Structure formats: structure tokens, C-alpha cells
């Protein structure tokens, strides 16, 4: 079976959560006989095609970028050609230009839409986009969402419940590097042990400004890994608040990230808006057996992190509640350890890449069987 994934960005050029999900889908499909390819946009698309760990990545020229939406003149022809060779097309939503490509290319292949997130920030543009969005989602044979929480709270998905399936994102721990003894020792000497760790891109919905407010008047050590558009503002905020116990480490490679995950005492994930639809780095914390602190925003974060079981869930945008949660885990290491153990057990039960691959392969085969019988 051949599956074509289509999204505006992808590895190795872009390293976000959706890109990681697509990568895991490609890799986890291999044992089920699924040959995956990815079509994406790139400002520097040479080479236009490359192999990445067993699957092919095709890159079309990015010509224009407006309101987080990439546009490409050449991608329609490229998409039509690649879709003609595929058995299933798997779109990754949201990307409004993708909807236009879908209709302009006139492809009649079975199609699945992986619904990563509602459109949250572009409210005025959303009003203009809604007719096209609903036409596109209505045309999909299946819609996949990563958590029952998101399905229950999305006003958009409420229109398509009958064809929406919940398939949680999954990670393969074996695909993560094992840090060397020397690397672990170096980080232990630099940041210590039993600190709170945040990993992610510094975007508007990550709630890091709330975390910094919560740390005022405390001595909880916090390590922040990542970069992004708000990095300078957040560093300035931390300096203004005299938060000397907060370390900004910038973007790190995977071995360094895993070393810090292993050394950390807990994961803090203060995202406060629905733009945080799941939380891959939160799931990485669970995979490494760490207790978690997150906010209740009606999305997959509260499917990964169950309050009182795998960690603590606090109201969004509430630095006082966040400070109390940090104190609870810091003052009760036995409780934190027990939550971390339950977190890794939940990961192994629900969130492995193997399980995601099995469920997606079953969905693709079900769809192809349905099309072949004309159902």
C-alpha cells in the first residue's frame, strides 16, 4: 500500500510536533507493508526529492507565506502526479492552501485528514476560510484526531463525528538516541538533577510567560529547552523578574534533549490555548517516566496527563495554581516518582508508535476495502 502525506513543512528542514507525527506515521507503517511518501514545501527545495530513514520526501518551492500559510505555484502539478501513484492520500490539517490544492488537482483517491488542531489565532481569516474548510472536511473519507478530549471540545469536528476516528499519536522510544555517560555527566554538572524541564518552540500558546510569573518568589530550578519567536521576550521577562534559577538553553540536539529528560524531576508544560492540540514533548516526558504539570485546555494534553494519576493539571493562565503544582511535586518526591511510573505505563498502553501504526494501517485498509466494494 502506498500512502502520500501532504503538509506545508517537514523534516529535516522543520522540526515541529506535526512533522514528528508524520515521521512516526511513515516509520510505524513499514511493518504493515505501507510505503509512505511526503510532499511538502521548502524555500530551498534542492534537492527536490530525498530519502529520510526509508521514506521519500518531495519538496516543492515555497513561493509565498502569509498568515502561517505557505503557497506554491508548482505544488499542484507535483501533488497530482504523486497522488496518482498513491493508494491513499493523508492530508494534515490545518493548512488552507492544502484545501485549494485538493480541489484544484481533482484527485479522486481515498483520502484521510489528520486533524491536528482547530484554527485558533486567525479568527478573522477563519470566517473567510470556513466555507472552503467545511467543503474540504466534508469531502474527506475519514478524519483522524489524536484524543477523545479534542473531539469532544472541537466545534468544527462536531459536524463530522460520524466519520472521525480517535488514533492517539505515538512515539517510538527506540528511535531516540541514548546519551553517552560523558554527555549525562556534563549536563548533570551544568544543571544538576531534579529540575523542572520544558521542551518546545517558544510560541504564543506555550504559556511560558505564565510559568515565569509562577516562579516569582520560589527557588524551583527550571530548565527551558528550545527557541522561537518569543525567546528574547521571555529571556527579558526572566531577567526583569530576577529569576536566577531559570536556565534557557536554546535549541539542542536530540541526545542533549534525552539527557535532560533523563536527569529532570518533572515536566512542566504550561500551554494555555487550544493551539496546543496534543503536546508531543509532554508525551516524551511520559515516555521517559516523568510526572507532568499541564493546563486544562480541553485538548490532548489532558489525555496524556491525567490529574492525580500521571501528574497535575491546573487551570490555564493561572500562575498561582501553577506555582502550587510545582510545589506539590517538589515537596513530595515519592508522589512525583509514583506519578512518573504511572505516566510511562500509560504511554506503553496508549501512545506507542507501534500502536499508532497498527491503527492507521487498519483504517487505511478499511477505507480501501470500502472503496473497492463501492460502499
- pLDDT tens for each residue of 22-67: 999 999 999 999 999 999 999 999 999 999 998 999 999 999 887 6
User: What was the pLDDT predicted at 69?
Assistant: 80
What cell was used for 368?
480501501
Question: Angle 181-191/254-263 helices, nearest 10 degrees?
Answer: 60
Q: Which H or E run includes 38? A: strand 35-42
Considering the domain architecture, whether residues 79 and 166 belong to the same structural domain is answered as yes
Put residue 52 in one of left, alpha, beta given phi > 0 → left and psi -120 to 50 → alpha: beta
pTM attached to this predicted model: 0.91
- Residue 244: Cβ-neighbour burial (10 angstroms; 0-12, 13-18, 19+): exposed
- Residue 320: Cβ-neighbour burial (10 angstroms; 0-12, 13-18, 19+): exposed
Q: Cβ of 359: how many Cβ atoms within 10 Å? A: 17
User: What was the pLDDT predicted at 141?
Assistant: 97
Considering the domain architecture, whether residues 39 and 64 belong to the same structural domain is answered as yes
- Residue 66: Cβ-neighbour burial (10 angstroms; 0-12, 13-18, 19+): exposed
User: What was the pLDDT predicted at 15?
Assistant: 77
User: What was the pLDDT predicted at 374?
Assistant: 65
Could you tell me how many residues make up the chain? 375
DSSP 178: P
pLDDT in tens, 179-188: 999 999 999 9
Considering the domain architecture, whether residues 160 and 280 belong to the same structural domain is answered as no
- Tell me the C-alpha to C-alpha distance, in Å, between residue 78 and each of 4, 84, 115: 12, 10, 23
| Contact call for residues 223 and 260 (beta carbons, < 8 A) | yes
Considering the domain architecture, whether residues 221 and 158 belong to the same structural domain is answered as no
Whether residue 126 has pLDDT greater than 90: no
Whether residue 259 has pLDDT greater than 80: yes
Whether residue 350 has pLDDT greater than 60: yes
For β-strands 266-269 and 246-250, DSSP reports them as unpaired
**Of 178, 211, 12, 2, nearest to 86 (Cα)?**
2
Considering the domain architecture, whether residues 115 and 65 belong to the same structural domain is answered as yes
- How many distinct structural domains can be found in the chain? 2
Could you give the CA distance from residue 274 to residue 221 in angstroms, rounded to a whole number? 27
**Between 64 and 335, the higher pLDDT residue:** 335
Distance from the Cα of residue 283 to its chain's centroid = 9
Whether residue 146 has pLDDT greater than 90: yes
Considering the domain architecture, whether residues 34 and 71 belong to the same structural domain is answered as yes
* Whole-number average pLDDT of the chain: 94
- Average of per-residue pLDDT across 7-30: 91
Considering the domain architecture, whether residues 167 and 189 belong to the same structural domain is answered as no
Strands (E), 214-274: 222-225, 246-250, 266-269
44-48, 96-100, 117-121, 300-304: the lowest-pLDDT one: 117-121
Which residue bears the cell 492540540?
Answer: 277
The backbone torsions φ and ψ at residue 326, rounded to the nearest 5 degrees and listed phi first, read: -60, -45
**Of 294, 288, 270, 299, nearest to 340 (Cα)?**
288
Whether residue 375 has pLDDT greater than 60: no
User: Where residue 265 sits, what CATH number does that domain have?
Assistant: 3.40.50.2000
What cell was used for 74?
508548482
Considering the domain architecture, whether residues 229 and 104 belong to the same structural domain is answered as no
Considering the domain architecture, whether residues 37 and 21 belong to the same structural domain is answered as yes
pLDDT band at 107 (very low <50, low <70, confident <90, very high): confident
Could you give the CA distance from residue 255 to residue 356 in angstroms, rounded to a whole number? 24
Considering the domain architecture, whether residues 310 and 362 belong to the same structural domain is answered as no
pLDDT band at 99 (very low <50, low <70, confident <90, very high): very high
Instruction: Quickly list H helices, 1-156.
Output: 17-29, 75-85, 96-105, 123-139, 148-153
- Average of per-residue pLDDT across 77-81: 96
Q: For the chain, how far is it from start to end, CA to CA, in angstroms? A: 20
What cell was used for 22?
508524520
**Between 107 and 173, the higher pLDDT residue:** 173
Considering the domain architecture, whether residues 369 and 231 belong to the same structural domain is answered as no
Residue 180: which domain range?
175-350
Could you give the CA distance from residue 21 to residue 283 in angstroms, rounded to a whole number? 12
- Number of alpha carbons in the 13 Å side-chain half-sphere of residue 104: 14
Whether residue 363 has pLDDT greater than 70: yes
User: What was the pLDDT predicted at 49?
Assistant: 92
Considering the domain architecture, whether residues 362 and 215 belong to the same structural domain is answered as no
- Average of per-residue pLDDT across 105-119: 93
Amino acid at each position: 500500500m502506498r500512502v502520500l502525506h501532504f503538509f506545508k513543512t517537514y523534516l529535516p528542514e522543520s522540526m515541529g510536533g506535526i512533522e514528528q507525527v508524520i515521521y512516526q506515521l511513515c516509520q510505524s507503517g513499514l511493518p504493515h507493508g505501507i510505503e509512505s511518501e511526503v510532499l511538502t514545501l521548502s524555500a530551498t527545495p534542492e534537492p527536490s526529492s530525498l530519502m529520510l530513514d526509508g521514506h521519500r520526501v518531495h519538496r516543492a518551492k515555497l513561493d509565498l507565506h502569509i498568515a502561517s500559510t505557505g503557497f506554491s505555484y508548482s505544488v499542484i502539478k507535483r501533488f497530482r502526479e504523486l497522488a496518482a501513484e498513491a493508494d491513499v492520500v493523508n492530508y494534515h490539517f490545518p493548512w488552507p492552501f492544502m484545501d485549494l490544492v485538493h480541489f484544484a488537482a481533482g484527485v479522486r483517491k481515498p483520502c484521510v485528514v489528520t486533524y491536528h488542531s482547530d484554527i485558533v489565532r486567525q479568527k478573522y481569516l477563519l470566517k473567510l476560510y470556513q466555507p472552503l474548510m467545511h467543503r474540504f472536511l466534508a469531502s474527506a473519507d475519514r478524519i483522524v484526531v489524536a484524543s477523545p478530549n479534542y473531539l469532544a471540545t472541537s466545534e468544527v469536528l462536531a459536524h463530522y463525528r460520524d466519520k472521525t476516528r480517535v488514533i492517539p499519536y505515538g512515539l517510538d522510544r527506540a528511535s531516540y538516541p541514548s546519551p553517552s555517560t560523558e554527555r549525562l555527566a556534563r549536563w548533570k554538572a551544568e544543571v544538576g538533577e531534579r529540575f523542572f524541564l520544558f521542551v518546545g518552540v517558544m510560541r504564543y500558546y506555550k504559556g511560558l510567560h505564565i510559568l515565569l510569573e509562577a516562579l516569582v518568589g520560589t527557588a524551583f530550578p527550571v530548565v527551558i529547552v528550545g527557541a522561537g519567536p518569543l525567546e528574547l521576550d521571555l529571556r527579558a521577562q526572566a531577567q526583569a523578574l530576577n529569576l536566577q534559577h531559570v536556565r534557557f538553553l536554546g535549541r539542542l540536539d536530540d541526545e542533549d534533549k534525552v539527557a535532560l529528560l533523563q536527569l529532570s524531576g518533572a515536566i512542566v508544560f504550561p500551554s494555555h490555548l487550544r493551539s496546543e492540540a496534543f503536546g508531543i514533548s509532554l508525551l516524551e516526558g511520559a515516555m521517559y517516566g516523568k510526572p507532568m504539570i499541564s493546563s486544562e485546555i480541553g485538548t490532548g494534553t489532558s489525555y496524556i496527563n491525567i490529574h492525580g494519576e500521571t501528574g497535575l493539571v491546573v487551570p490555564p493562565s493561572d500562575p498561582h495554581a501553577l506555582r502550587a503544582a510545582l510545589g506539590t511535586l517538589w515537596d513530595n518526591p515519592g508522589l512525583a516518582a509514583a506519578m512518573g511510573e504511572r505516566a510511562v505505563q500509560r504511554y506503553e498502553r496508549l501512545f506507542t508508535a507501534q500502536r499508532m501504526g497498527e491503527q492507521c494501517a487498519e483504517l487505511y485498509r478499511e477505507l480501501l476495502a470500502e472503496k473497492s466494494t463501492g460502499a
